[in-house]
Chain A
């Protein structure tokens, strides 16, 4: 198990994703939206990396680049040791069998005119995982997948609108599992669900990980959920990772001023703990990624910024074996 944990499944190196902004009839390029601007991280086999940040920080774009749903502007993505960042389109499809995505919105991500069974079974046909002439195999596999995610296999014929939000998210999970992937990106999988249902989905994701040895990239804005499910957590701000560490260090010893502010902004449902917590309220809003501030792009809001912070983008550096931070003040 230990050797398995040290095995790197996926690595992003200096990943950049710029979206051009165009103007006029000829679509002249006028600027870039630097959604992801030089992000590097590794994910070990069998672990969960949490990716947190506020809306617009580029966390979803990172996920989509890893799946090559976008073609990254620069940088490399190594999946099982192979650089997939420049693979041609026809080589990507077989790869997607191993990399799947669970979406935030269980309403928008399921085709309303397709039955639940066919939604879950479609990847089997696309990737030729069941013999095309064997309807029995297909049916058996779909029922199996339903049971795996805690849905009654007799519901395969129903349509998405007949399910509740939590059940729909289970269908989305079954679809992701159908082609037996090794890596799943969970993009805000519980944000759209009711509080009492969220725990059901979190537990399901954890059970599946144990049972099937899955590797997750868990993208969310809720730090307490991310910390609960992840082995390591990367904090993003405006296209950059500002801190990566394990879940324990994240709460016990956060170093980047943004991480600290983010942690202090998350309320804890306990009035006794709350009354003794330090509260850091950041000033202002997240700047636009079209025209980010010079140097460290957090400096206009940073409580400990010094003039040097405006000079250069601070690189991620190791503070200890399992703790990287991008700040010149720590």
Chain B
């Protein structure tokens, strides 16, 4: 299948008082058409920054995309001026984004109808009346009851789940090719989370869009994503199909993450195996494997310098110096 989005060696840095922060340090990934991708990592690993970078939404200063290319439909988005017309037509049009907190990403002083209509007028050049009709349709599609009346409501008049539905309606309103959902369900309850994820999956099928789900919740991506990228300290440390990541996980960090969350279907009696230590501070990181201080295999680790991603099976890539020959779970099994 053809790749819709291809990101190569993306690097984003922030100049801070403490020093240079390499928030995203050379990541490459691709998204195929109609594919659901999971981008997983803990807070501060650079997963959100990488997505904002591709859309050129990083405030400069202090941040800057220093290297890399973002090929979308054959063109490098980073070559477009950040606020130029071309970039603006991609952003919100061809690529749209759903943010974590719907209350802060919706404008509180405009009705949801006005916000939807504005997008349709701007990107699709729809006349006002047609846009209003379309806005009602969109709200119906995402399951807002009584949409024709509620279109004149303000964001605060909706519940958290409803607001996120409105965000989804806005995201798909201009027939995008790619939707980036940044922690779309972190602010809502589990039953609402299930509703929203099912809705998004449905949207992928109905509108032929691709979806990137950025999240810290491994369970969410296990259920919905076809391929998964795991990030740690600004780099992708493992990628592969959902089966590669969850069943044949290789990198000690991925394995550690899986072993440190209790599973609903576990047989109890086993203690959780936490990952020792803390996520690293990204200021002036040395050029070694960032997981090394926390890695249970650090003593066996032969390599110096940063381990590059290497292929271990068809779609499965991992950045680890150690050759486990499929035995990386051993430590955690004890």
Contacts and interface: CB of A to CB of B under 8 A. Distances in A.
B301 interface: no
Interface in B262-281: 262-266, 268, 271-276, 278-279
A194 B278 CA distance: 9
A200 B274 contact: yes
B267 to A, nearest CB: 9
B222 A269 contact: yes
Contacts, number: 124
A38 interface: no
A5 interface: no
Nearest to B197: A267
A321 B95 CA distance: 56
B190 interface: yes
Interface residues of A, number: 44
B278 A266 contact: no
A266 B190 contact: yes
Nearest to A227: B264
Contacts of B159: 285
B257 A262 contact: no
Nearest to A261: B191
A195 B265 contact: no
A268 B264 contact: yes
B216 interface: yes
B263 A199 contact: no
A281 B189 CA distance: 13
Nearest to B196: A281
A196 B224 CA distance: 22
A197 B272 CA distance: 11
Interface in A16-71: 54-55
A244 interface: no
Interface stretch (B53-61, B105-113, B241-249): B241-249
**Most chain A CB inside 10 Å of its own CB: which residue of B219, B223, B246:** B223
B247 to A, nearest CB: 7
B307 interface: no
Interface stretch (A95-103, A138-146, A179-187, A271-279): A271-279
B263 A268 contact: yes
**Most chain B CB inside 10 Å of its own CB: which residue of A197, A222, A263:** A197
A194 B273 CA distance: 15
**Most chain A CB inside 10 Å of its own CB: which residue of B218, B220, B261:** B261
Given A198-B260, A268-B219, A281 B195 contact: yes
B263 A269 contact: yes
Given A269-B261, A271-B246, A54 B218 contact: no
Contacts of B260: 195-196, 198-199
B234 interface: no
B268 to A, nearest CB: 7
A274 B222 contact: yes
Interface string A186-222: 0000000011111110110010000000000000011
Contacts of A322: none
B243 A269 contact: no
B89 interface: no
A229 B220 CA distance: 22
A224 B261 contact: yes
B274 A199 contact: yes
Given A194-B42, A285-B159, A228 B278 contact: no
Contacts of B217: 267
A281 B194 CA distance: 6
B256 interface: yes
Contacts of B148: none
Contacts of A222: 190
B193 interface: yes
Contact of B190 (A195, A198, A221, A251): A221
A319 interface: no
B273 A199 contact: yes
B28 interface: no
Contacts of B262: 202, 224-225, 227-229
A265 interface: yes
A247 interface: yes
Contacts of B264: 223-224, 227, 251, 263, 266, 268
B251 to A, nearest CB: 13
Interface in B189-232: 189-195, 198, 216-220, 222-223
B162 interface: yes
A132 interface: no
B265 A262 contact: no
A152 to B, nearest CB: 14
A50 to B, nearest CB: 12
A286 B160 CA distance: 11
B246 A285 contact: no
Given A270-B222, A274-B223, A282-B191, A196 B42 contact: yes
Contacts of A247: 268
Contacts of B162: 285
B43 interface: yes
A43 B235 CA distance: 47
A281 B274 contact: no
A54 B222 contact: no
B161 interface: yes
Contacts of A224: 261-264
The 3 A-B residue pairs whose C-beta atoms are closest, nearest first, are: A267-B219, A228-B262, A199-B274
15 contacts: A54-B190, A164-B278, A194-B43, A199-B274, A199-B275, A202-B262, A203-B272, A221-B189, A224-B263, A228-B272, A263-B264, A265-B191, A269-B263, A271-B242, A281-B195
Interface of B: 42-43, 159, 161-162, 189-195, 198, 216-220, 222-223, 242-243, 246-247, 256-266, 268, 271-276, 278-279
